[in-house]
């Protein structure tokens, strides 16, 4: 696979920048924040979008578990007798 010269240059600059800070991510972050502050440009922080809940026309129906269909129904007052 051929190496793109632009990609190679970006990787080289990135490596040199990281080496300046001994590969300390937090030090690099502090440096970038300081550069941003010194540039005088205004940064933008966007608020997360809120998703409105969807109103259902009818409430969801509760399903009974599959095994409930096969259980015998007892009449009122009757007791279940089990034989072994």
Q: What is the pLDDT of residues 11-55, one digit of tens each?
A: 999 999 999 999 999 999 999 999 989 998 887 888 888 888 877
Residue 71 domain flag:
no
CB 74 within 8 A of CB 80: yes
Residue 13 domain flag:
yes
Give the whole-angstrom CA distance, residue 18 versus residue 21: 5
Structure tokens of 21?
């800070």
> pTM to 2 decimals?
0.47
Torsion of CA 58, 60, 61, 62, to 10 degrees: -150
- The DSSP call for residue 69 is G
Structural domain containing residue 16: 1-38
Give the number of domains in the chain: 1
């Amino acid at each position: 696979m051929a190496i793109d010269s632009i990609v190679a240059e970006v990787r080289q600059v990135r490596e040199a920048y990281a080496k300046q800070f001994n590969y300390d991510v937090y030090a690099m972050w502090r440096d970038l924040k300081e550069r941003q502050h010194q540039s005088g440009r205004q940064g933008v922080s966007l608020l997360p979008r809120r998703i409105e809940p969807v109103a259902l026309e009818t409430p969801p129906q509760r399903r009974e578990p599959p095994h409930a269909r096969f259980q015998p129904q007892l009449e009122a007052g009757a007791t279940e007798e089990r034989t072994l």
